[in-house]
Structure 1
Amino acid sequence: MSERQSRVTVIEVTYPAHRGSIGLRGNREPLSWEHTTPPTSSEGDRHRFALQVLEGELLEFKLVRNGEEWAGGRDYVVHAGEQVHVEPYFDRHTATLLPAEELAMGDERLRFEVLLPPSYDEQDGKRYPVLYVLDGQALWSTSADPYGVWNLEKTLDHLFELNAIDEIIVVGIDTAERRLERLSPTPDPTHGGGGGEAHLKLLVEHLVPTINERFRTRPERENTALMGSSMGGLFSFYAAWTRPDVFGKAACLSSSFWWANREMIRRVQHAGTPDPRPFLYLDSGAAMCAFEKDPHVRDGFHHTRSMLRALLLQGYVAGTDLHRLAFTGQTHDANAWAARVAIPLQLLFPPPPSSHVPPDHLPSAD
């Protein structure tokens, strides 16, 4: 049986040099948990560790600042011969919710709150994708919405800790007042509404530019997403479909696709897809019994399926630029959305891909 060779395993770290020195500790040679290994090389804020690891082994490691301060998040695990890039944070291990603000545009008032990821203040050269959520009154564990809350910041903290998603800025938009009016793209014969176009204009012309000006965002469409539930899901779809140049992604939870005699579904059926085409996530609950009559329990399952079919006929590819999931037994409420919101977050904002370098392309040790 031939001896295993060691492979060069590269860990690249971006961290502001003025905030302290960066080192590694880990579970096997050439690292240890007791002593800090300095970078192989450093240039400005970029630090490179080139480590020899036996082929077939896993290396568990953690970033350390100034020889003693441990980075937030869980340990990283890499394979021999792998190359990864890490942007650690030390000062805060959870996201920061800023005080609520209002934008005034004539007679309109737009109330919103911004959640900053753990590294925002520390990684002062980094820019972040942005997620706008149309249920701002119910998002946080501190929210007092009588219909329930999402505890979104807690879900995000867990995902950040696991390195399961890219760090993002979240803008929660309060839509409690005049919700049907503001989030409906067209009037409904029974419920009225139809102010969605005006609300979208406020977002595109005022809120999004304000957020991009004040915070270190990645303003490109592919880094700007919308998410909402119920009427918020309908509006998120409408906004991404209508202004894909601004919102390149949308997550639509339990969307009210029944609105106005399924107008949005019919619009997709009879019109071409927008260019550029937005990335879409659709979901719904579903009744345990096929004969269930309560719409709260049915959760618009068949309407969401109709939208899926319309999108597939327009050229969308399931599993690529379109994802649709159903959750049997989950009803139309905040508890259900809180329970599954981690799924669309991971689909919309996957962690930046590591640069996987095949072992044969890296020098081996003698």
Structure 2
Amino acid sequence: MVSTTTTELMKKFFLLLSVWILHVQFLMAQPQVQSGQLESLGIFKSNFVQDRQVDVWLPNGYSSEQKYQVLYMHDGQMLWDANTTWNKQEWEVDENMGKLLEDKKVPPCIIVGVHNVEAIRHADYFPEKPFKSLKKASQDSIYALKRGTEPLFGGIQIDSDDYLKFLVKELKPYIDTHYAVYTDRSHTFVAGSSMGGLISMYAICEYPEIFGAAACISTHWPGIFSNENNPVPQAFFNYLEKHLPDPATHKIYFDYGTATLDALYEVHQLKVDEIMRTKGYTAENWETRKFEGENHSEDSWKKRLAIPFTFIMN
């Protein structure tokens, strides 16, 4: 017969073992970086959008004795470590930025990685004002679209205006007060790919006083997943013609590949390029690059990430 004391000891042992296993699982789920240091802010509370995870990458030698530029990046869970991503790919942001800083090709900076909420990512990142400029029939047909068996917009209304309010009115003030950063426009940037490219374009247009540069990588100009009978790109063009920020104080980078989903983009990017020229953008403050043979994936984006980083930060 097992004594009461032995039973209690066994209970404590298994409780401690369970806590240890959970701790190991937590550590295994956390992204590991090869350069610099990654700080998790945990689930960041918001009054505008659904709460979400936020990470802050600090470069090697980070010190509160100096000031750093700030780059806000979307799809934060895809940036650092392929071992923790759904498709086992990553942007290699820490490796890319760490090497640029080591070679002194960009000024000192920190990177804020804002995780997406998968089910509502399309609703968060789809530029709201261009969408609302569409006829109601077009809006309704777009809202009815599905990706697989799930609603494309997660069953909610497009709320990218609120997503930008979250970045500008909640997250940025926190970063500005908790890290040694410049807070002005000329040192504050935004970047993302695909739908993240669209919301980066939208961010610099909606908040030109906040963001001085945007990197829009593999920008998803169709908004949905077909170019056929699609009114969305024209709505984006009309919006850009009215809302592009002043080229004297802003820089914008675009790029695209030619394979998989990126094959849809060139026809639209060429029209965007015409608008950029008309609005006074030149090689000094705007760049569009085509990457022949590259597809729509983190494996493609990580290979060229140093190019937009260097362009927007210098």
Same fold (TM over 0.5): yes
Q: Which runs of 5+ in 2 are unaligned?
A: 1-33, 132-138, 146-152, 224-230
Q: Could you give the per-residue CA deviations for residues 230-266 of structure 1, whole angstroms, max 9, x where no partner exists?
A: 0000000000011010011100000112226112222
Amino acid paired to 1:309: E
Question: Which of 244-253 and 179-188 deviates more?
Answer: 179-188
Please tell me whether residue 140 in structure 1 is matched to residue 104 in structure 2. Answer: no
Q: Is 1:166 matched up with 2:107?
A: yes
The alpha carbon displacement at 1:313 in A equals: 1.1
Distance 1:281 1:206 in 2: 26
Structure 1 residue matching 2:302: 3-state secondary structure: helix
Q: Aligned to 1:98, what secondary structure does the other structure show?
A: strand
Residues of 2 paired with 1:205 and 1:100: CA distance?
17
Q: TM-score, normalised by structure 1?
A: 0.63
CA deviation profile, 1:172-226 (whole Å, cap 9, x unmatched)? 0001421101111134542455211010011110000100010010111010000
Deviation at 1:297, TM superposition (A): 5.0
Describe the SS at the equivalent of 2:45.
Answer: strand
Alignment of 1:199-348 (within 5 A): 199-259=163-223, 261-262=232-233, 263-269=235-241, 271=242, 273-275=244-246, 277-287=249-259, 296-317=261-282, 319-348=283-312
Distance 2:160 2:104 in 1: 35
- Equivalent residues of 2:36, 2:98 under 8 A apart: yes
Q: How many residues align?
A: 247
Q: Distance in 1 between matches of 2:72 and 2:83?
A: 17
Aligned to 2:54: 112
Deviation at 1:146, TM superposition (A): 2.0
- What residue identity is the alignment partner of 1:231? M
One-letter code of the match for 1:112? V
The 1-side partners of 2:82 and 2:218 are apart by 23
**What 5-or-longer segments of structure 1 have no aligned partner?**
1-92, 288-294, 351-366
Point out the structure with the larger helix share: 2
- Whether the 8 Å contact between 2:218 and 2:262 is mirrored in structure 1 is no
After TM superposition, the score normalised by the length of structure 2 is: 0.73
The 1-side partners of 2:296 and 2:106 are apart by 26
Name 2:4's counterpart in structure 1.
Answer: none
Contact 1:141 1:153 in 2 (8 A): no
* Contact 1:252/1:283 (8 A) holds in 2: yes
Supply the distance in 2 between the matched residues of 1:230 and 1:175 (Cα, whole angstroms).
13
> Are residues 153 and 323 of structure 1, via their aligned partners in 2, closer, same or farther at CA, if it must alter by over 3 Å?
same
Equivalent residues of 2:54, 2:112 under 8 A apart? yes
Amino acid at match of 1:145: T
Deviation at 1:299, TM superposition (A): 4.8
Question: For 2:216, what is the secondary structure of its paired residue?
Answer: strand
Instruction: Please show how residues 119-198 of structure 1 align to structure 2 within 5 Å.
Output: 119-121=61-63, 124-141=64-81, 144-147=84-87, 148-177=89-118, 178-186=120-128, 187=131, 189-190=141-142, 191=145, 192=153, 194-198=158-162
Is the Cα contact below 8 Å between 1:297 and 1:329 reproduced in 2?
Answer: no
For residues 256 and 103 of structure 2, the distance between their equivalents in structure 1, rounded to whole angstroms, comes to 26
2:188–2:212 contact (8 Å) kept in structure 1: yes
The structure with the greater share of residues assigned to strand is 1
**Equivalent position amino acid for 2:91 in 1:** W
Q: State the secondary structure of the residue aligned to 2:104.
A: coil
Per-residue deviation, residues 114-156 of structure 1 (Å, max 9, x unmatched): 00111213xx320000000012010002552223211111112
In the TM superposition, what is the alpha-carbon distance from 1:278 to its structure 2 partner? 2.7
What is the distance in 1 between the residues matched to 2:302 and 2:46?
A: 32
Runs (4+) of structure 1 moved beyond 6 Å?
Answer: none
Instruction: Give, in whole Å, the separation in 2 of the partners of 1:313 and 1:136.
Output: 34
**Identical residues among aligned pairs (%):** 27
Corresponding letter in the other structure for 2:267: H
Contact 1:257–1:265 (8 Å) recurs in 2 = no
CA distance in 2, matches of 1:126, 1:120: 8
Which one is further off, 211-220 or 258-267?
258-267
User: Considering only aligned residues, what root-mean-square deviation do their CA atoms show, in Å?
Assistant: 2.0
- Which structure would you say has the larger Rg? 1
Q: Distance in 2 between matches of 1:130 and 1:163?
A: 16
